[in-house]
Each structure stands twice: as structure tokens, then as C-alpha cells.
């Protein structure tokens, strides 16, 4: 039974623990579902998950022989083959999922409808914006893949994260003094401010999600009659849930602080402890401020009379909310759909908990550890040999055990009292056995290890043969990644699209999306409304076989284009050069091609004046003659203008001399008078 399991006597209707029946039918259903699913997990799943987590952290699994008294003084090393396998697959996933910005593609189900195509473009830009700016998609995607590789499954909860807080603004009069209310206290204007308004993905630990083992293996989350999510929350967070600061139809039941502290966790969860690598339990801290203490809140989804209902309980002690139909709390989902997605990296038919890649190699990991530790024991015994000493013999025990080079050990009869054991050196054969085990691990896990290649490479082996081995390993790694994408990544992204379609109201973000898809230029629309977003959408993640090997990606693209152009040359006119450049540079590790192929300048693309026709020699001679004639005319006009100026000056001087003679006035006086008149 789980460490978080409570009996009926722990609930508020039976506080004395007398084993009485629970009067609340919804709480009784939750207790029954929790008990049965927890018992199955504890008996059948927990041990394997703990082993896998230990191997992933390069530690021996609980109950290993290396923890026994017989191995106290023997080598207990751990070869990190599991960690290497997981890290290589994580690196391959990161390379395939995040090499370009166009790894995610949103398309409309009605491919021939123009309005649906516009909606698909907006949804793709909106989804890409959320994954880039408000959702830590890289951590979630790689972390989810790690869960699949280690624990066997990835489970996540998709929801709209909306929170608002009340802010009190003090009220002042015209003089700047505080205004008092009717009780003589400072008056405040209370306003609400939104602090969170975005779609969100929460990765959930395997041990915190409970469902019926009888559910269909193809969709355990959707076909289980119940689903319980055990959520660690602080006491203050639980108290704040009842204030309706989220977009929710849940009707909360008022709970006292004393009742909340009844559910403060003091239990030991072995899976969680293994995940935290023997550190102190992060969910079992005690604070002087009791509001920081951890309690376990269960989100219960129960199918009753063919309809899903959701409500919250405080562990299995008491109910925190009234049951409401699931479609009221999550109106963006289709009928029968739940806000949880469970994915895997391995398919095992008719098993709800498939074995993880870590579990597949667990036996060989233990064998590799055993060979390695025995070889180290053998080396130490060969170099520091063991001695058999006759009982009651007289000898220097400390000097003999220290085995100091050049040291002296005193004894009465060395030949009869002491016998030296010389174990054979078996390191060569143990290394050969180690290489075979490493090769088996690499083959099963789909990793191409350079160290294993060097150890097992045969003389005369060509580079082409090694590349074929690498391609075989890539096939297994890409197969695992494809399963993960199909079972978890794409369903999660589809739920995110539905969340955005139903809840997105940020006008600034919608306006930005409209600019990216050129809504004004294409459709003369400046504002995006709900009608442009909603619609049935498909979402695919562009991760195919060969996606984890850059050389293969570029080679396959080139081969595909060459083949198409050979049989259909007219297709070259329809090729999208930008998409080809993105794919090639994405395979090489670049997010986009803007650095290498900047967008053309629109001003530079404007048409200029029509080009002039080239002139002949005769045309050039005519132009030269016209230019000389024009220059001669300009010279004649200049000479004529100078002649007229001189003639006017002579005429004025003559008039001035005549005026001087007639009036007996000097010429200087006349000139001064004329100059004064001119100014």
C-alpha cells in the first residue's frame, strides 16, 4: 500500500479511526480508486521504477548485493552505461526537435478552405510564440523524453494558467492626506491585476498519477474509469484556491486550517526519494510558518454514469470541492477527452506500464558492474596478495598486512607459518567479456559508442562498414523518438492549440500574430478575432527517420530532390528555395538562415526608370555639335549684354556733364546726390 494511503478512519467522518463507513459517496469513490491503484503500483511497478532511477543516477538498485555485509570491503563501482544511453538519446531528441524554428507544423483539417488555412497560419504562429516565450518547451520536451527513457512513461497536465491578485490602492484627498473609511481606517480602492494568463504544461511524476490497470493499453488516460493526480501544495496555496483567482467553475468547500494540517505529509515515498538521489525528502519539510508546510491535494476525475466528473480532495481525508462535469471545467476539450496525456518511448502491447529502455538494459548493466568489480578485485589481489597464516604462529601482523615495498616482517618460521596465495591474472578475458556486454547494451539501447567501436574494431574494417553500424544504431534511437513524438508531443501540442483557441484574449499578442501572417496586406483585416483562430487543426512535429543524423538529413534531402527533378524537371520551377535552405542549415545546427540570406530590401526592389537605348556615333556627333552651337550663342549674348552696360554708363555720364554745365554744379556733388537717392 502507498506511503500516502489513508484508511477510512483518517477521514473527517471517522476521526477516531474506528473503521466506520464514509458517508460522502464521492469521497468513498475516491478512496476506493486510490486504494486499489496504489496497491497495484506498490506491488508491481514501484520496484522497477526505483531500479531504473538508481541506474540512471549511476547507483546500485535498492536491495543490491553490494549493500550487503559480504561486500563491505569489496569493490562496488558502477559503470555509467545507463546514463550514457539516456544522455545520448536526449541529445538526439534536442537535435531533432530544436534544430530549426519550423519543427512544428499546424495545418487545417479542411485543406481547401482559405479561411481554415488562415486560421492554421495564425495558430501556428501563436503556438510557436507560446512555446518560445511563456512555456519552457525545451526543458519540458527533453525532460519528458527523459521520463520515458528512465521511468517508462511521460505524463503531463495541460491547462490554462490564469491568476489574478487583489491590489489595494490608498485613497488620498486633494491635499494628499489619506482618506479614512467608516471604521476610522485608511480607505483603499481594491483592483484586480492579472499576473498569469497563458497556456501551461505540467510534467507529472509517474508515482503521482493513478489510474485503473484495467484501462486500454492504447489510451490508459482516456479509458480508465478514474484518474487521480496527487499534487504537493503548501497550506497557504490550498487556502488561496477557494478565492476563485483562476478561470474555473469549481465550487470550493470552506476548510479550516486545523483540517488542512491533518493532511500535512509526514510519509516516506521511496520512488520520490530514489529520484532525489537519497537527499532529504523535499516534500517533508516542517516550517515555523505553518503555511509553508506541504499537504497532498488530489485532483480526481471520476467517470460516473458515462460522464466524467472532477473534484478535489485533501488526500483521502476530506473533500475540498463539489464535483462538476469535466466539460464545464475544461470546455476547450472534446467530449470524453481529458487534460492529461501519457506517452512512452517503447511500445509493449497490452501493458499499461511498458518497460523503459533503461529497464531493458538493467540486467546487462548489472552484469557489466559485476565483471568490472570482480576484475578490480582480481587486480588488487594480484598486486596485494592474500596470506594464509598458521594459527598461533608468531609474526608481525601489522607489517605483513601493510605489505610495504622494502619492508621487513619478522616471524619464527616463514616456510611453515605463512603461505602466500597467488591468484591468476584474468584481466584479459574479463576485458573481452566486458566488451561483449558493452556491445549488447549499445545494440539494444540504440547507441553507437565510440569506445565500444574502438574496442571491437577488427583489422581491415572500413569506414563504410562503421557508418552502416552507426545508421543501424540511429534507426533504433529514431524509432524511440518517433514513438515519443506520436504518443506524447503531438497530443500535447494539439491540446495547447485548443487552449489558445478558447482562452487567448491578449490583444497585443493577437495583433503581433496578425502582422506575422500579413493579415492586412492579404485580407485587409487589422484585428484578429476568435473567428480567425477557431477551427479543427492538425499538429505534426517534423521528426522523421534520419532526423538525428545531420549528414543523413542533408544527404536524403539532396537525393530526394535529385530524383524528383530527374523524372519531373518542371518541378524545379515550383521548389521553395527558402524551405530548402532552412532544412539544410537546420541540419547543420542553425535555427534559421537569416544570417546567411538576409531578406531583400523592398526599396531596392522598386522598379527604376526604363533603360535608355545605346547611342550611335552619329547621334553622339550631333549632340556634340548642338552643344558647341549653344556655347557660341551664349558667348554672343554675354558680349551684347556687356556692350549695353557700357553704353548705358556713357549716356549717364553725358547727362551728368550737361546738368553740371547748365546749373553750375560740380560733378562730385551730382554723384553724391545720386548715390544718396539710390540708398
Q: Strands 153-170 and 340-344, how do they pair? A: antiparallel
Average pLDDT over residues 301-323: 94
Q: Does residue 52 carry a pLDDT above 80?
A: yes
Of the candidates 280, 372, 461, the one whose C-alpha atom is nearest the C-alpha of residue 77 is 372
309 in helix, strand or coil? strand
Q: Which of 6-20, 78-92, 349-363 has the lowest mean pLDDT?
A: 6-20
* Start-to-end C-alpha separation, the chain: 118
Q: What is the tens place of the pLDDT at every residue in 58-71?
A: 999 999 999 999 89
Closest Cα to residue 38, out of 259, 298, 275, 265?
298
Determine the pLDDT at residue 66.
94
pLDDT above 90 for 340: yes
The mean pLDDT value for 377-398 works out to 80
Using CB atoms within 10 A of its CB, is residue 117 exposed (0-12), middle (13-18) or buried (19+)?
A: middle
**What phi and psi values does residue 505 have, to the nearest 5 degrees?**
-135, 0
In the prediction, which pLDDT does 9 show? 34
What pLDDT shows up at residue 322?
94
Using pLDDT thresholds of 50, 70 and 90, give the confidence band for residue 18: very low
The residues near 513 (Cβ < 8 Å, ≥ 6 apart) are 122, 125, 126, 129, 528
Position 496 confidence tier, pLDDT thresholds 50, 70, 90: very high
279 or 629, which is more confident: 629
CA distance 168 to 572: 65
User: How do residues 201-212 score in pLDDT, each as one tens digit?
Assistant: 999 999 999 999
Residue that is written with C-alpha cell 462538476 in the block: 324
> How confident is residue 230, by pLDDT bands cut at 50, 70 and 90?
very high
Highest mean predicted confidence (pLDDT) among 246-260, 324-338, 523-537: 324-338
- 160 or 261, higher pLDDT: 160
- Summarize the confidence of residues 213-232 as an average pLDDT: 95
Q: Which of 154-158, 375-379, 574-578 tops mean pLDDT? A: 154-158
Provide mean pLDDT across the span 613-629. Answer: 68
Roughly what angle, to the nearest 10 degrees, separates helices 114-133 and 490-503? 100
pLDDT of 347 > 60? The answer is: yes
- How far is Cα 41 from Cα 211, in angstroms, rounded to an integer? 10
Ranking 201-215, 319-333, 624-638 by mean pLDDT, the lowest is 624-638
Q: How many residues does the chain have?
A: 679
- Mean pLDDT for the chain overall: 80
Q: CA 235, CA 369: separation in Å to the nearest integer?
A: 45
> What is the model's pLDDT at position 150?
96
Amino acid at each position: 500500500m502507498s506511503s500516502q494511503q489513508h484508511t477510512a478512519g483518517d477521514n473527517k467522518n471517522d476521526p477516531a479511526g474506528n473503521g466506520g463507513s464514509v458517508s460522502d459517496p464521492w469521497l468513498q469513490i475516491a478512496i476506493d480508486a486510490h486504494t486499489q491503484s496504489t496497491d497495484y503500483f506498490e506491488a508491481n511497478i514501484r520496484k522497477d521504477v526505483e531500479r531504473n532511477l538508481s541506474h540512471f543516477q549511476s547507483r546500485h538498485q535498492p536491495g543490491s548485493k553490494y549493500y550487503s555485509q559480504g561486500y563491505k570491503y569489496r569493490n562496488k563501482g558502477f559503470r555509467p552505461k545507463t546514463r550514457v544511453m539516456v544522455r545520448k538519446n536526449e541529445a538526439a531528441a534536442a537535435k531533432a526537435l530544436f534544430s530549426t524554428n519550423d519543427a512544428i507544423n499546424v495545418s487545417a483539417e479542411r485543406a481547401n478552405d482559405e479561411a481554415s488555412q488562415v486560421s492554421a497560419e495564425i495558430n501556428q504562429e501563436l503556438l510557436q510564440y507560446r512555446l518560445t516565450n511563456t512555456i519552457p518547451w525545451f526543458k519540458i520536451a527533453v525532460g519528458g523524453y527523459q521520463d520515458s527513457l528512465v521511468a517508462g512513461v511521460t505524463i503531463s497536465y495541460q491547462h490554462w494558467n490564469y491568476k489574478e491578485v487583489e491590489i489595494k490602492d490608498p485613497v488620498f484627498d486633494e491635499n494628499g492626506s489619506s482618506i479614512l473609511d467608516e471604521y476610522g481606517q485608511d480607505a483603499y480602492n481594491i483592483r484586480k491585476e492579472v499576473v498569469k494568463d497563458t497556456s501551461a504544461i505540467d510534467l507529472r511524476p509517474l508515482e503521482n498519477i493513478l489510474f485503473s490497470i484495467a484501462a486500454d493499453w492504447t489510451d490508459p488516460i482516456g479509458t480508465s474509469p478514474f484518474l487521480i493526480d496527487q499534487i504537493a501544495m503548501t497550506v497557504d496555496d490550498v487556502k488561496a484556491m477557494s478565492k476563485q483567482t483562476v478561470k474555473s467553475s469549481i465550487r470550493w468547500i470552506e476548510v479550516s486550517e486545523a483540517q488542512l494540517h491533518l493532511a500535512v505529509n509526514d510519509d516516506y515515498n521511496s520512488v520520490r526519494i530514489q529520484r532525489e538521489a537519497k537527499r532529504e525528502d523535499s516534500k517533508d519539510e516542517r516550517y515555523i510558518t505553518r503555511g509553508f508546510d506541504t499537504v497532498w491535494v488530489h485532483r480526481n476525475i471520476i467517470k460516473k454514469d458515462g460522464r466524467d466528473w472532477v473534484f478535489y480532495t485533501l488526500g483521502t481525508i476530506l473533500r475540498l470541492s463539489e464535483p462538476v462535469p469535466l466539460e464545464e471545467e475544461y470546455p476547450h476539450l472534446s467530449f470524453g477527452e481529458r487534460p492529461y496525456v501519457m506517452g512512452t518511448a517503447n511500445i509493449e502491447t497490452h501493458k499499461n506500464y511498458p518497460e523503459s529502455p533503461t529497464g531493458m538494459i538493467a540486467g546487462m548493466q548489472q552484469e557489466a558492474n559485476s565483471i568490472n568489480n570482480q576484475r578490480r578485485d582480481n587486480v588488487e589481489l594480484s598486486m596485494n596478495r592474500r596470506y594464509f597464516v598458521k594459527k598461533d604462529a608468531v609474526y608481525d601482523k601489522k607489517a605483513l598486512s601493510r605489505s610495504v615495498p622494502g619492508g621487513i616482517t619478522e616471524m619464527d618460521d616463514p616456510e611453515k607459518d605463512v603461505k602466500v596465495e597467488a591468484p591468476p591474472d584474468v584481466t584479459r578475458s574479463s576485458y573481452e567479456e566486458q566488451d561483449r556486454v558493452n556491445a549488447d547494451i549499445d545494440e539494444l539501447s540504440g547507441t553507437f559508442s565510440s569506445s565500444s567501436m574502438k574496442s571491437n574494431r577488427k583489422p581491415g574494417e572500413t569506414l563504410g562498414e562503421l557508418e552502416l553500424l552507426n545508421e543501424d544504431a540511429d534507426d533504433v534511437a529514431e524509432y524511440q523518438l518517433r514513438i515519443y513524438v506520436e504518443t506524447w508531443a503531438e497530443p500535447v501540442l494539439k491540446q495547447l492549440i485548443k487552449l489558445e483557441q478558447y482562452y487567448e484574449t491578449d490583444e497585443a499578442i493577437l495583433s503581433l500574430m496578425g502582422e506575422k501572417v500579413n493579415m492586412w496586406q492579404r485580407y485587409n483585416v487589422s484585428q484578429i478575432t476568435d473567428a480567425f483562430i477557431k477551427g479543427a487543426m492538425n499538429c505534426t512535429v517534423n521528426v522523421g527517420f534520419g532526423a538525428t543524423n545531420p549528414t543523413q538529413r542533408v544527404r536524403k534531402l539532396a537525393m530526394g530532390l535529385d530524383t524528383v527533378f530527374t523524372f519531373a524537371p518542371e518541378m524545379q520551377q515550383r521548389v521553395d528555395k527558402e524551405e530548402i535552405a532552412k532544412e539544410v542549415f537546420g541540419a547543420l545546427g542553425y535555427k534559421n538562415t537569416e544570417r546567411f540570406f538576409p531578406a531583400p530590401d523592398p526599396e531596392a526592389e522598386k522598379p527604376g526608370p526604363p533603360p535608355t537605348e545605346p547611342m550611335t556615333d552619329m547621334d553622339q556627333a550631333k549632340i556634340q555639335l548642338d552643344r558647341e552651337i549653344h556655347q557660341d550663342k551664349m558667348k554672343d549674348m554675354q558680349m551684347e549684354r556687356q556692350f549695353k552696360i557700357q553704353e548705358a554708363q556713357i549716356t549717364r555720364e553725358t547727362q551728368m556733364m550737361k546738368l553740371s554745365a547748365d546749373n553750375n554744379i560740380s560733378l562730385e556733388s551730382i554723384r553724391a546726390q545720386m548715390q544718396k537717392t539710390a540708398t
